[in-house]
Amino acid sequence: QLCESESGYIWNSIIYTGKGTIFMEEYEHYGLSTKCVLTLIHELKNNGYLLTTDNFYTSPEVAEILLKYKTDVIGTVRGIRKELPAEFKILKLKKGEIKAFQKGKIMVLQWRDKKTLTMLSTIHNAELVSVESRKSTTKQKPKVVVDYNRSMGGVDKSDQCLSCYPSIRSRQRKYYKKIFRHLLDQAVWNAFVLYKKNGGDLKHVAFRMKLIERLCEEGSGLPSSKVPKSIENVARLTGRHFPSLVTSTGNKKYSARKCAVCCSKTNGNGKRVRRETRFECEVCNVGLCAAPCFQIYHTQSVF
pLDDT digits (tens, 9 = 90+) for 73-119: 999 998 778 888 777 777 788 888 888 899 999 999 999 888 888 99
Angle subtended by helix axes 204-220 and 175-197, to nearest 10: 110
- Average pLDDT estimate for 20-29: 90
Q: Using CB atoms within 10 Å of the CB of residue 226, give its burial: 0 to 12 exposed, 13 to 18 middle, 19+ buried.
A: exposed
Given a contact cutoff of 8 angstroms between Cβ atoms, the answer to whether 273 and 265 are in contact is yes
Is residue 222 pLDDT above 60, yes or no?
Answer: no
135 CA to centre of own chain = 33
The pTM of this model reads 0.66
Q: How confident is the model at residue 64 (pLDDT cuts 50, 70, 90)?
A: very high
* Most confident region among 19-23, 59-63, 152-156 by mean pLDDT: 59-63
Range 44-56 average pLDDT: 93
pLDDT score recorded for residue 93? 82
Q: Is residue 200 within 8 Å of 178, Cβ to Cβ?
A: no
Which of 54-63, 175-184, 205-214 shows the highest mean pLDDT? 54-63
Q: Could you tell me if 278 and 248 are in contact, meaning their C-beta atoms sit under 8 angstroms apart?
A: no
pLDDT value of residue 220:
57
pLDDT at position 280: 92
Q: How confident is the model at residue 231 (pLDDT cuts 50, 70, 90)?
A: very low
DSSP code for 266: B
Asked if residue 227 has pLDDT above 60, the reply is: no
- Cα dist. 260→160, 216, 237, 264, 289 in Å? 41, 20, 15, 6, 9
Query: Which helix or strand (DSSP H or E) is residue 162 part of?
Result: helix 154-164
pLDDT for residue 20 is more than 60? yes
Rounded to whole angstroms, the Cα distance separating 19 from 176 reads 17
pLDDT of residue 85: 79
